[in-house]
Chains A and B, each alone.
Chain A
Amino acid sequence: MSAPFSDSLSMTAYLATAVVLGLFFGFFLERAGFSSALKLTAQFYFKDFAVLKVMFTAIVIAMLGIVYLSLVGWLNMSQVYIPATFLWPQLLGGLLLGFGFIVGGY
Chain B
Amino acid sequence: MGAEAIPRMPVPLTAEQVEAMSQRLIKKHHVAIILLHWFNATVWLTELATGAALISSPHFRIAPYWYISMVQGFFGTRAHMLQFHITVGLTWLVVFLVYGIFGFRTYLRKEVVDREVKLDGDDWRWLWVRTRLILKRTRESLPPQGVYNAGQKLFAALVYTMIPVIMLSGLVMSFHLVSTSLVQWAIVAHFAAVGMIVSGLIIHVYMGAVFPEEKPAFFSMLTGMVNELYAYRHHFKWWQEVKMQEQVWKREVLEDEGEAPPAAPPGPDWTAEAPSPQPHSRFGAVLQRTFRGPEYWPPYVAGVGLGLTLLASFVIMGEGLGASGGFTRYLVAVLAWISPHYVAANGYWSEYAQPGQSPLINFLVFELIGVVLGGFVSGWLAGRVRFAVDKGPRVTRATRLAMALAGGILMGFGARLARGCTSGLALSGGAVLAAGAWAFMLAVFAAGFAGAYFIRRFWL
Interface, chain A (partner B; CB < 8 A): 3-6, 11-12, 14-33, 35-39, 41, 43-45, 49-50, 52-63, 65-66, 69, 74-75, 79-87, 89-106
Contact = CB atoms under 8 A, between A and B. Distances in A.
A27 B375 contact: yes
B310 to A, nearest CB: 4
B314 interface: yes
Given A12-B83, A33-B296, A105-B404, A19 B366 contact: yes
A23 B333 CA distance: 23
Contact of B304 (A5, A22, A57): A57
Interface stretch (B192-200, B253-261, B276-284, B413-421): B413-421
B267 interface: no
Contacts of B79: 11
Contacts of A61: 303-304, 306-308, 310-311
- Interface core residue of A15, A50, A55, A57 (most chain B CB under 10 Å): A15
B407 interface: yes
B351 to A, nearest CB: 14
Nearest to B360: A15
- Interface core residue of B303, B364, B384, B435 (most chain A CB under 10 Å): B303
A15 B87 contact: yes
A28 B447 contact: no
Give the size category of B's interface with A: 35 or more
B417 A93 contact: yes
Contact of B83 (A15, A52, A69): A15
28 contacts: A11-B361, A12-B83, A18-B317, A21-B313, A32-B297, A32-B303, A33-B302, A41-B459, A54-B300, A57-B307, A59-B427, A61-B304, A61-B308, A69-B315, A83-B437, A85-B436, A86-B418, A87-B436, A89-B417, A92-B417, A96-B447, A97-B422, A100-B414, A102-B459, A103-B407, A103-B410, A103-B451, A104-B408
B421 to A, nearest CB: 7
Interface stretch (B52-60, B110-118, B243-251, B318-326): B318-326
Contact of B317 (A6, A24, A29, A43): A6
Contacts of B317: 4-6, 14, 17-18, 21
B266 to A, nearest CB: 25
B455 interface: yes
A26 B447 contact: no
A95 B447 contact: yes
B259 to A, nearest CB: 36
Contact of A59 (B83, B316, B430): B430
Given A16-B87, A45-B459, A90-B439, A82 B314 contact: no
A41 B456 CA distance: 10
Contacts of B376: 26, 30
Contact of B363 (A12, A14, A91, A104): A14
B390 A37 contact: yes
Contacts of A14: 317, 363
B444 A98 contact: yes
Contacts of B400: 105
- Interface core residue of A39, A45, A75, A98 (most chain B CB under 10 Å): A98
Contacts of A38: 390-392, 459
Given A32-B306, A85-B434, 18 more contacts: A11-B83, A16-B90, A18-B365, A26-B370, A29-B374, A32-B302, A57-B303, A61-B303, A83-B424, A84-B434, A84-B436, A86-B436, A87-B435, A91-B439, A91-B443, A97-B415, A97-B418, A101-B448
A29 B297 CA distance: 10
Contacts of A17: 316-317
Nearest to B448: A98
Given A15-B87, A93-B418, A98 B446 contact: yes
A16 B313 CA distance: 13
B93 to A, nearest CB: 11
Contacts of A91: 439-440, 443
A36 to B, nearest CB: 6
A83 B411 contact: no
Given A60-B307, A97-B411, A103 B374 contact: no
